[in-house]
Structure 1
Amino acid sequence: MGISGISPGSLLLILLIVVLLFGTKKLRTLGEDFGKALQGFKKGLNESDKPDTEQ
């Protein structure tokens, strides 16, 4: 039994359907965009933690 009662076979079937619907190129670009968004979010958090020295 996997996550929330979903078997690993069911997860594999869902993944296969998603790949067939969107294609690997579209999924790759979505992954890249998501990664860039996370990097920007982390950068923003780090910048907000620094004290403001400019006044």
Structure 2
Amino acid sequence: MSLGPWQVLLIAVVVLVLFGRGKISSLMGEVGKGITSFKRGVQEGKDELEEQLEEAKDVTPESEKTKDDA
């Protein structure tokens, strides 16, 4: 079952009447802040993982390293 344009418009009007324009505006602002915060957290997590990969130590024994170079 999919909603047609008239059903979506009717739902939007009912929500607007029930909550008022100011309440919906502030709610959408909070949703936007939440999305921005989530994206920032994901990016910080990626940056942290990349940093840890760069700092990872090579624990290959020296004898194994020389075999690969030859």
Instruction: Please state which band the TM-score falls in when normalised by the shorter chain.
Output: 0.7 to 0.9
Structure 2 counterpart of 1:24, from 17, 21, 26:
21
> 1:25 Cα shift?
0.4
Match of 1:41 in 2: 38
Supply the distance in 2 between the matched residues of 1:36 and 1:5 (Cα, whole angstroms).
29
Shift of the alpha carbon at 1:5? 2.8
TM-score by length of 2: 0.64
1:11 to partner: Cα distance = 1.1
Question: What is the percentage of aligned positions where both structures have the same residue?
Answer: 32
TM-aligned CA deviation for residue 47 of structure 1:
0.4
Question: Does residue 11 of the first structure (1) align with residue 14 of the second (2)?
Answer: no
TM-score by length of 1: 0.80
Gaps of 5+ in 2: 55-70
Moved beyond 6 Å, runs of 4+: none
5+ residue gaps in structure 1? none
